[in-house]
A and B are shown apart, each in its own frame.
Chain A
Amino acid sequence: MKIGLEIHFQLKGNKLFCSCSTEGTESGSSFRRKLTPVMGEMGKVDNAVEYENIRNREFLYHVSTNSCLVEKDEEPPHPVNIEALNTAIAISEALNCKILDYASFMRKIVIDGSNTSGFQRTGIIGMDGYIETSKGPVRISTITLEEDACRKISEKHGRAEYSLDRLGIPLIEISTEPDIADPDHALETAKAIGHFVMSMNNFRREVDSIRQDVNFSMGFGRVEIKGVSKLSFIKDTLDYEIKRQKALNEISGKFSGRSPELGKFIDISDIFTNTGSSMIKKAIASGKSVMCARLPGCNHLMKYGNYRLGRELADVAKNIGIGGLMHSDEFPAYGLMDDELNKIYQSAGKMDNDAVIVVIADKPSFQILRPLLIERMDKIMKLDLAETRAATPSGETRYLRPLAGKERMYPETDIPLIQITEDHIENIKDMVPKSIDEIKSELVEKYKLSYVEAESLINTNMLSTFLSIVKDFNYPSTVSRILLQIIPEFEKKRDKKLTPDEKADILGVALSQGNSYSRNDTVISILGIAKRKHWDRSTLEMAISLYMLDNIPLSELETRQELIPLTEEEIRKVITELVSSADISEKNIIVLFRKKTVRAFDPKVVIKIFRELKPSN
């Protein structure tokens, strides 16, 4: 088994080749463009029809508040965003790459409209590195700095609509060699790389800011799985793909690699004149036809146990816009009655061992669909499974397109070479993210945390939050306790996670710097009040409890009785009262004292005064 990863992550701040912000909203205007794939850029597309389709596609670009003439492809790129370049250098250093003497950018032709220019600007910054894992080093082939593409809004009737808001956001791509041994190892490697990414101050931290592609092969051709959205899905996705390929291997074995011959499509629309299936009724009313075809020997292979041949065929249909491909392993379903099924099977000529597929589509589509289905069956039977697949949000994969030919690239002559000297690399040494082990020992030595605490902060992704708070609120052990114990405990008690606003209310602006939401500096926070009022740990925890469990608003906390510590004078008064009653000792004084007041107090002072006042017997 061979697995490789490509991890892309966005940077926030400014775009890569202009000074537009990475954040923005729609501005209301739009413009229409076309792309002309020029001289040989098409690579292997020599099919005239496909070529025409590409040439006649229209793209509508929605202008965003964070776009200028560069995003509109109306002006050459500005000099490269130096902070983004430095980030790419820093991450290359962290991953033991060789930094190139010069950053030079290329134009990678992209004709799906996702780039207004028709190409993506991309350049290699680091090459030939590695990352340590429990199963040995995984080699890093390249680290590139590139511009992100437009965000797709919709696609219909040959017209795709895009927003310019995402176009030009700096994107760093980290590609590994296929050194990863299994799905668990893939997850571990992705997490290890992810650690470096997330420790970069300018990592964008939005929903879509990190995207992962997985390259996978288990001997049946290389599969590129695009767009695994979450780290944790890498393993699920790979497990799914392994299961899929194993099942296809078994199916291919049953036929000794020879493809069963797909029967002719037979129009069976007439069967359904009085059908109870509302789906079929609607489809026929809208002018579509229902056709069926026999797949010899495929009974109980379409959807049975681990077999999902039906899905393989449905994916191909879906790609040309045919949503309705049903098959005999699913029936009875879709409101079809037994006599309708019998008629379908009879029309298709189904024998016991055969499967039947039923397709609802416009009549002309069947001519396009049939050769695609035959080709698909053939590929599966020959176990030539190489292709590009998409990761689904549920951790599965689905057919996307054949593997792309080699990307067509040529130099971006509008951007001069940027020399990266030894001095330059030396100057940004502080930006180089530290490895997990280095960070752990720093947390233990510098902040006196336990190894367990250090590990939890890293594993729960709270390291940057911790560090930014500690910079401002100088009690590392208290901060660590609040993050790792107090807040999770209260969250459990009230059965509701903190919202970002609540988080800012408790932890203050320090936290917001590492996150997308921003709070004005003048906004107070519980930690801020604690710092100003010199609260001790128990008062602080009481404040968080009031806020989280009793829903006391932040603005009222400062004047709450519970949070105004008793003065020595007041403590003396309470103890005097207590001493007059019976059974008071140093063992129970604190418990009894707490019953007497809702306000905060320093237990040490209570003990001290008790010793002074206790009856001397």
Chain B
Amino acid sequence: MLIGQKVDFSYKGTEYTGTFISSSGETITVKLGSGYNITLNSDSFKVLREYDDGNIEDNQRTATASECGNNGTCILTTGGTIGSSVDYKTGAVKPVKDISYLYNFVNNISQFKLYHENIENMLSENVDSGKWVTFARKARDAMKKGNSVIIFHGTDTMQYSASALSFMFEEQTKPIIFTGSQRSSDRPSSDAFLNIEGSIHFASMEMGEVGISMHTDTADDSVSLYRGTRARKMHTSSRNAFISIGEHAMARYSNGTISEETYMKKPSENIVLKDKLDDSVGLIYFYPGMKEEDFYNLAYNKKAVIIMGTGLGHVSSGVLNIIKKLEKETSFFMTSQCIYGNVNMNVYSTGRDLLQAGVIPLDNMLAETALVKAMYILGNYPDSLDKLMRANLRGEIEDILK
């Protein structure tokens, strides 16, 4: 039987007609005339007749290759909930083929020229530094043609990708806006449509940074733009999962209007992309009772290690000893598990010992941002690692005194 094929079958002595959907060996799923799918044990399901209607849908269609034109807004799709559509028969999720449908479903965007290029189709947890380079190059190509850039991205690792592009673009001529959705776009309640609406408007700003455009609140009232290097996903499922840690959102969009809320860099005349990343960096979450050898194994052979320490930036004395041993080959940087606030290693003796061992405090930089930043610096300015990690390059350090 083929997917979508009409069949007569019997189940527990009664005959039915339905559409074959799928089988898993042990089970068979059929759609009844009422629209309901039912799943039955294969051995209780008996096919009586298969209809040959020659009209079975081809489910293997993939996204068509297209390229961005000039002086518009280029939407790059990479997969994730927002860039997917559902096969309404099987429930299977597939990448969108054509985003012209957005004009029908998103409000207030008829004045924008939208282009679409599908560059990846992946779950966001499978994104790595190689993909960031790809995303960045595609964004550069789009900007070269005078386009703003919107990247549809899975929300789980969006903050890493946004940070990566923030650092790799030393200068950019247009905004690069990441957006995603917490409810898939097959649902009438999806947050995707408003997030996209917001991202398209944000992309039209006179601004030269990388941001994340997501719901401000649970309501469909407004969308906020968060700085790529300060944004963090703080809830597994809610629409307002993203916030900027320790600073206001950069801007807010509601009903066709943008209000700017905090400093944003102006666009540059030129595009400067440093597209080398060295991923020999570790991120270690310290916990009470952490085995010295475990820390050692995670840190060994890395050029840089970002530690998420407790409180103001602490680890156990055992871990401190390992740091002292590895300190010649590896640079250690301290961030905090608290997420909010600065690390300060002068308050307690453990902190002072860590400083003495060469561990560099990263103030209130987010650990995930620090990880990506270290890859960028190692890839492009390996000799200035310690100095540049402490510098505020893309707003990744929020100076509360500024």
Interface residues, chain A, CB within 8 Å of chain B?
Answer: 31-41, 55, 69, 72-76, 98, 100-102, 104, 106-109, 111, 116-119, 122-124, 127-128, 142, 144, 406-413, 417
> Are B186 and A410 touching (Cβ within 8 A)?
yes
| With known contacts A36-B190, A73-B183, A411–B91 Cβ distance under 8 A | yes
Residue pair A413, B219 in contact (C-beta under 8 Å): no
**A411-B189 in contact (CB<8A):** no
Is B193 an interface residue, CB under 8 A from the partner? yes
CB closest residue in chain B, given A111: B188
Q: What's the Cα separation between A304 and B88 when bound, in Å?
A: 51
CB contacts (< 8 Å) of B93 on chain A: these are 413
Query: What's the nearest-Cβ distance from chain A to residue B184, in Å?
Result: 9
Q: What would be 29 A-B contacts, judged by CB atoms less than 8 Å apart?
A: A32-B219, A36-B188, A37-B188, A38-B190, A55-B107, A74-B238, A74-B239, A100-B39, A101-B40, A101-B41, A101-B44, A102-B38, A102-B40, A104-B39, A117-B188, A118-B189, A118-B190, A124-B36, A142-B34, A142-B36, A144-B36, A407-B34, A407-B35, A409-B37, A410-B86, A410-B89, A411-B37, A413-B93, A417-B27
Give the residues in chain A near B39, CB-CB below 8 Å. 100-102, 104, 417
For A104, the chain B residues whose CB sits under 8 A away are 29, 37-39
Contact B105 A38 (CB under 8 A): yes
Given A410-B88, A417-B39, are A39 and B101 neighbors across the interface (CB < 8 Å)? yes
**Cross-chain contact B36 with A106 (CB below 8 angstroms):** yes
Chain B interface residue bracket vs A: 35 or more
- Which of B11, B12, B91 meets A413, CB within 8 Å? B91
Interface residues of B, dominant DSSP: loop
Q: Identify which of B88, B90, B189 contacts A35 (C-beta below 8 A).
A: B189
Q: Is the C-beta of B185 less than 8 angstroms from some C-beta in chain A? A: yes
Distance, CA A100 to CA B91, complexed state (A): 20
What B residues does A98 contact at CB under 8 A? Answer: 11-14
CB of A123 within 8 A of CB of B190, answer no
Closest CB of chain A to B100's CB: distance in Å?
12
Which residue in chain B gives the minimum CB-CB distance to A409?
Answer: B35
- Among B29, B40, B186, B239, chain A packs the most CB atoms within 10 A around the CB of B186
Cβ B237 vs Cβ A31 within 8 A: no
What separation, in Å, do the CA atoms of A522 and B187 have in the docked complex? 50
Residue B220 CB within 8 A of the other chain: yes
Q: Which residue of B lies closest to A99 (CB)?
A: B12
Contact of B219 among A33, A117, A406, A411 (CB under 8 A): A33
Task: For A37, list chain B residues within 8 Å (CB).
Answer: 188
Kindly state the separation between the CA atoms of A343 and B11 in the bound complex, as whole angstroms.
70
Q: B221 interface residue, CB < 8 Å from A?
A: yes
* With A32-B221, A72-B238, A74-B218 already in contact, 15 other A-B pairs whose C-beta atoms are closer than 8 Å: A34-B194, A35-B188, A36-B190, A38-B187, A55-B105, A74-B239, A98-B11, A98-B14, A101-B40, A102-B27, A104-B39, A106-B36, A111-B188, A410-B91, A411-B37
Partner pick for A411 among B13, B90, B188, CB 8 A cutoff? B90
Could you tell me the distance between the alpha carbons of A412 and B11 in the complex, rounded to whole angstroms? Answer: 23
Choose from B32, B189, B238 the contact partner of A69 (Cβ within 8 Å): B238
Q: Which residues of B contact A75 (CB under 8 A)?
A: 236-238
Point out the residues of chain A lying under 8 angstroms from B89, CB to CB. 410
Contacts of A41 in B (CB 8 A): 188
How far is A104 from B85 in the complex, measured between Cα atoms in Å? 21
Shortest distance between the CB of A204 and any CB in chain B (Å): 24
- Taken together as a complex, chains A and B put the C-alpha atoms of A74 and B220 apart, in Å, by 12
- Interface 1/0 per residue, B8-28 and A, CB below 8 Å: 000111100000000000010
Q: Is the interface of A mostly helix, strand, loop or mixed?
A: loop
Whether, in the assembled complex, B329 has its beta carbon less than 8 Å from a beta carbon of chain A, the answer is no
**Does B217 belong to the interface (CB within 8 Å)?**
yes
Q: Indicate if the CB atoms of B188 and A118 lie closer than 8 Å.
A: yes
B225: shortest Cβ distance to chain A, in Å? 20
CA distance A194 to B231 in the complex (A): 55
CB distance from B186 to the nearest CB of A (A): 6
User: Chain B residues near A33 (CB, 8 Å)?
Assistant: 189, 219-220
Q: How far is the CB of A58 from chain B (nearest CB, A)?
A: 8
Task: Report yes or no: A31 in contact with B88, Cβ–Cβ below 8 A.
Answer: no
Q: Is the CB of B37 within 8 A of A36?
A: no
A408 to B36, CA, bound (A): 10
B182 neighbours in A (Cβ, 8 Å): 74
Nearest B residue to A141 by beta-carbon distance? Answer: B34
Q: By the criterion CB–CB under 8 Å, are B186 and A38 in contact?
A: yes
Partner of A31, one of B183, B194, B218: B218
Give the shortest distance, in Å, between A224 (CB) and chain B (any CB).
15
Query: Which chain A positions have C-beta within 8 A of B237?
Result: 69, 74-76
Residue of A nearest to B36 (CB): A124
Using CB atoms, name the residue of chain A closest to B85.
A39
Name the B residues within 8 Å of A74 (CB-CB). Answer: 182, 218, 237-239
Q: A38-B188, A98-B11, A119-B188 are in contact. Are A408 and B37 (CB under 8 A)?
A: no
Report A92 CB to chain B, min CB distance, Å.
12
Q: Indicate if the CB atoms of B35 and A106 lie closer than 8 Å.
A: yes
Can you name the residue of chain A whose Cβ is closest to the Cβ of B43?
A: A101
Identity of the chain B residue whose Cβ is nearest the Cβ of A108 in the assembled complex: B35
The answer to whether B29 and A119 have CB atoms under 8 Å apart is no
Question: Contact mask B163-195 → A, CB, 8 Å, 1/0?
Answer: 000000000000000000011011111100110
CB neighbours of B12 from chain A (8 A): 98, 128
Interface residues of B in 77-117 (CB under 8 A from A): 85-86, 88-91, 93, 101, 105, 107
How close is A506's CB to chain B, nearest CB, in angstroms?
47
**Shortest distance between the CB of A500 and any CB in chain B (Å):** 38
Question: Do the beta carbons of B35 and A116 come within 8 Å of each other?
Answer: no
State A407–B37 Cα separation when bound (angstroms).
Answer: 13
Quick check: A118 and B40 within 8 Å, CB to CB?
Answer: no
With most chain B CB atoms within 10 A of its CB, the pick from A101, A118, A413 is: A101
Nearest neighbor of A413 in chain B, beta-carbon distance: B91
Closest approach, in angstroms, between the C-beta of A67 and any C-beta of chain B?
Answer: 12
CB-CB nearest in chain B for A417: B39
In the complex, what residues of A have CB within 8 A of residue B239's CB?
74
CB of A119 within 8 A of CB of B187, answer yes
A108 and B37 CA atoms in complex are apart in Å by 11
Q: Write out the residue numbers on chain B whose beta carbons fall within 8 Å of the beta carbon of A411.
A: 37, 90-91
Give me the 4 closest cross-chain CB pairs, A-B, nearest first: A118-B188, A411-B91, A409-B35, A35-B188
What residues of B have a CB within 8 angstroms of the CB of A417 in the complex? 27, 39
Q: Separation in Å of the A196 CB from the closest CB of chain B? A: 21
Q: CA separation between A412 and B12, bound complex, in Å?
A: 25
